[in-house]
Amino acid sequence: MAARRRITYTVLALLALAALLPPHLNGYWVHVLTLFFMMASLAQAWNLIGGYTGYASFGNVAFFGTGAYTCAYMMTEMHWPFWGAFVTAIAAAGLFATVLGTPILRLRGHYFAIATLSLAIGTQALVQQLPPLGKGSGMTLPINSNFHFFYWVMLVILIASIVVTMFIARSRFGYALSAIRENEEAAAVLGINAAVAKVAAWTVSAGITAAAGATFAYWSSFIDPPTVFDLNFNILMIIMAMLGGAASVAGPTIGSFVISAIGEALGAQSVSPWHAVVLGAIIVVIVILLPRGIMPYLAGGPSAWNLQMLRRQLRASRV
Amino acid sequence: MNVINIAHGAFIMLGAYTSYWLFVGPMHLDPFLSIPLAMAVLFVLAYLTQRLLVNQVVRAPLLTTFLLTFALSIFIANLAQVFWLSDIRSVTTSYSGSSFALGPITVPWIKFWTLVIAALLTLALQTFMTRTKLGRAIRATSMDIDAARLAGVDVARIYALTFGISGALAGAAGSLVSVSYAITPTMGDSFVVRAFVVAVLGGLGNVTGALVGGLVYGVIESFGALLGEGYKDVVALVVLLLVILFRPYGLVGKATA
């Protein structure tokens, strides 16, 4: 366990150092890193419900879109400053998660997955019909071209999401979530109010996701439903969290870093389908070789890096 | 089988291309006649995919297979784009526009035969699953891997076989949609979500339920469109949410303990 804690502190220290970088970076790298901080905080948020609680949410992107649209609405229609809109966005998504989570979190496994998937698609379709939200044609926010500002805001959201996860993981609440993941009936017998704990976890997850969504809206200064409700965001959150190590404090950030780095190395700016072919193949290989993510290898130290461990892992998941 | 196969859409796409190439090729094979070929091609591909790749992670947490098949679908769809480009293709047969009248309703022949073949395939699958030894082995494996293994089932082979059958059906579906939809490397995406929704509507692991689920979903989507094209998905998904909240075992299934 100590090793895992050391990894968390290392990640946090590196991120704190990253705050000093912007003056030394050109616009391209500021953009790439801002995007990485955003994806990493989305993966951290997903990890609370998908990793710790074991409920595979395909609907978290709905909170991203809700956050983005709430922020856009408050800033353009109500003429609120960004921070007011930002807090409102978090509250709106949290409320959304609490209200919808109460019935949806009664479902499990595939049924929960499909219900949350329809939540994501349904929210997008609904936003597309609402006149105050510009219907399908999107909304334009006030332009702020101080891109270092967004770099720091996204970085703070990411650091906050890791710290929140760290505190939850060590709290009674965090143990309750893990107990629910392992065996919900047994958790209930132990006196855990599973319904409340699950909804609370989803609400926190939604709040972090909406914070990133609100910042994204202001950052891109134009949003439309296909962009902020893009299911690929949700799928990337899952891939990043699982690759790093689900139900680990800093795993999702590590996973996001690896995926972003691979994407950059393959030339994310290029549109050739060959890059996607290679990315797909790399994910296949990683998933088969690291079915439990990178975390067990990092936490195990040098002794974990041997063929026996790899073989044991492979044998455990093979049919 | 508890495997979420995101690559199912990519398999449908490959089935559609199989029919397309056989149609435009020197043989000029009718898409309805190329169904068995598309099924055979996709069976082999899906069997190997499961045997070599998915079987390696079947016992890992549920989402691992999801991740793996998602990566596979990126891989397949983009490989298709490399070789066949993003051009929109279509299969136009001599009978493409023709239809017959059923009272006040005009039924295109293509849709009619698509429905007939889909129903026949469902019936065949249902018979296979309930009346044959292999079908029973598949159901046993999906209930409890270890118990099935103890009873002498070669579970690795059963997994591959199940995936192969699923792939063959995706191939048939691809042939069937090739006559009514545009064929592109990314055409599979829209089918994955629908297939998932329909399977849940019908009840997971329930073959005839899937057919009922498909019909119900199609009708709901069409009636939802009456409210305005944009509300189609909203209505369909609200109904889906209600179904899974109140009848999580599917529309035609029975509640089990």
Domains defined along chain A, listed by start: 2-317 (1.10.3470)
Please give, rounded to a whole number of angstroms, the shortest distance from the CA of A163 to a CA of chain B.
25
Q: State the amino acid at position A111 in one-letter form.
A: Y
Tell me, what's the pLDDT at B173?
Answer: 95
Amino acid at site B175: S
Q: Report the candidate in B8, B227, B191 with the shortest Cα–Cα distance to residue A125.
A: B227
Predicted confidence (pLDDT) at residue B43 exceeds the cutoff of 80? yes
Q: Is residue B192 part of a domain?
A: no
Q: What is the DSSP string of A16-61?
A: HHHTT-GGGS-HHHHHHHHHHHHHHHHHHHHIIIIIIS----S-HH
Residues 244-263 of A with CB under 8 A from B: 246
Residue B41 lies in a domain: yes
Which of A103, A243, A291 is closest, CB to CB, to B60? A291
Note whether A283 contacts B71, CB cutoff 8 Å. yes
Range from A272-276, B142-146, B195-199, B250-254 carrying the lowest mean pLDDT = B250-254
Q: Please answer yes or no on whether B78 and A280 come within 8 Å at the CB atom.
A: yes
* pLDDT tens digits for range B131-190: 999 999 999 998 888 999 999 999 999 999 999 999 999 999 999 999 988 999 988 877
- Residue B64 has its nearest CB partner, among A129, A276, A287, at A287
Question: Of all residues in chain B, what percent carry a pLDDT higher than 70?
Answer: 97
Q: How far apart are CA A215 and CA A212, in angstroms?
A: 5
Number of domains in chain B: 1
Do the Cβ atoms of B79 and A119 come within 8 Å?
no
Residue in B63, B241, B245 nearest the CB of A238: B63
Amino acid at A28: Y
Would residue B21 count as lying in a domain?
yes
| Nearest CB to A288; choose among B56, B66, B70 | B56
| Spatial distance between the Cα atoms of B156 and B147, rounded to a whole number of angstroms | 14
Confidence (pLDDT) at A1: 61
Choose among B159, B200, B230: nearest Cβ to A111: B200
Q: Strand runs (DSSP E) across chain A, as ranges? A: 139-140, 222-223
Inter-residue contact A17 to A184 (CB < 8 Å):
no
The complex's ipTM works out to 0.81
B91-136: pLDDT as tens digits: 888 888 888 988 888 899 998 999 999 999 999 999 999 999 999 9
Chain-chain contact of A235 with B70 (C-beta, under 8 angstroms): yes
Q: Are A48 and A175 in contact (CB under 8 A)?
A: no
User: Nearest residue on chain B to A292, judged by CA atoms?
Assistant: B60
B37: left (phi over 0), alpha (psi -120 to 50) or beta: alpha
A196 touching chain B per CB within 8 A: no
pLDDT at A211: 98
DSSP 8-state class, residue A135: G
Give the amino acid at B205.
G
Q: What is the spatial distance between Cα A198 and Cα A221, in angstroms, rounded to a whole number?
A: 34
- Residues A239, B230: C-beta atoms closer than 8 Å: no
**Does any CB of chain B come closer than 8 Å to the CB of residue A288?**
yes
Chain B nearest-CA residue for A314: B56
Q: Which of A70-79, B49-58, B200-209 has the highest mean pLDDT?
A: A70-79
Q: How far is CA A109 from CA A56, A100, B242, B244, in A?
A: 7, 17, 17, 12
Partner-chain contact A281 B57, CB within 8 Å: no
Put simply, the answer to whether A279 touches B74 (Cβ < 8 Å) is: yes
Determine whether the interchain pair B72/A119 forms a contact, defined as Cβ–Cβ distance below 8 Å: no
In-domain check, residue B99: no
- pLDDT band at B15; cut points 50, 70, 90: very high
Beta bridge partners of A222: A140
How many residues are recorded in chain A?
319
CA-based nearest residue to A122, from A87, A96, A141, A95: A96
What is the mean pLDDT of the segment spanning B56-79?
A: 85
Helices of type H across chain B: 8-24, 35-52, 62-84, 109-131, 133-143, 145-150, 155-178, 189-202, 207-224, 231-246
Q: Which of A50, A111, A276 sits opposite B78 (nearest CB)?
A: A276
Mutation target to probe the B interface, by most B beta carbons within 10 A, among A105, A111, A114, A314 is A114
Q: B3 phi and psi, to 5 degrees?
A: -115, 120
Contact B163, B11 (CB under 8 A): no
Residue A165: per-residue pLDDT: 97
Q: How far is CA B245 from CA A2, A15, B25, in A?
A: 42, 42, 49
Range of the domain at B76: 1-88+131-187
Give the residue from chain A lying closest to B70, CA to CA: A280
B90: nearest Cα among B189, B19, B186: B19
Cβ of A127 under 8 Å from any chain B Cβ? no
Q: Give Rg (Cα) of chain A.
A: 19
**Looking at the partner chain, which of B58, B81, B233 has a beta carbon nearest the beta carbon of A122?**
B233
- Is residue B244 domain-resident? no
pTM for the predicted model, two decimal places: 0.83
- The shortest C-alpha distance from B112 to chain A (Å) reads 30
CA dist B91 and A313 (Å) reads 47
The closest alpha carbon to A204, from A312, A51, A26, belongs to A51
Yes or no, beta carbons of A291 and B196 under 8 Å apart:
no
Q: What is the pLDDT of residue B133?
A: 94
Q: What is the pLDDT of residue B80?
A: 93
- A113 forms beta bridges with none
A118, B63: Cβ pair inside 8 Å?
no
Q: How far is A318 from chain B (nearest CA, A)?
A: 4
How far apart, in whole angstroms, are the C-alpha atoms of residue A196 and residue A218?
A: 33
The shortest C-alpha distance from A141 to chain B (Å) reads 25
Within a domain: residue B42? yes
Chain A residues with CB-CB distance to B82 below 8 A: 273-274, 277
Contacts of A177 (CB under 8 A, 6+ apart): A48, A52, A53, A168, A197, A198, A201
Q: Which of residues 3-62 of A touch B (CB under 8 A)?
A: 50, 56
CB contact under 8 A, B237 and A291: no
- pLDDT over 80 at B62, yes or no: no
Residues of B in contact with A104 (CB under 8 A): 241, 245
Residue ranges of A 292-311 with Cβ closer than 8 A to chain B = 292
The angle subtended at Cα B124 by Cα B119 and Cα B125, nearest 5°, is 95
Residue B100 falls inside a structural domain: no
Partner B contacted by A137 (CB < 8 A): no
Q: Note whether residue B113 is domain-resident.
A: no
- In a structure prediction context, what are the per-residue pLDDT tens digits for chain A, which is 319 residues long? 688 889 999 999 999 999 999 989 999 999 999 999 999 999 999 999 999 999 989 899 999 999 999 999 999 999 999 999 999 999 999 999 999 999 899 888 777 887 888 888 889 888 988 888 888 788 999 998 899 999 999 999 999 999 999 999 999 999 999 999 999 999 999 999 999 999 999 999 999 999 999 999 999 999 999 899 988 888 889 889 988 988 899 999 999 999 899 888 887 656 677 878 888 888 888 888 887 788 888 887 776 677 777 777 777 777 7
Closest CB from A136, A277, A291 relative to B64: A291
Of B76, B82, B233, the CB nearest to A125: B233
Which of chain A's residues have a Cβ under 8 Å away from the Cβ of B193?
117, 121
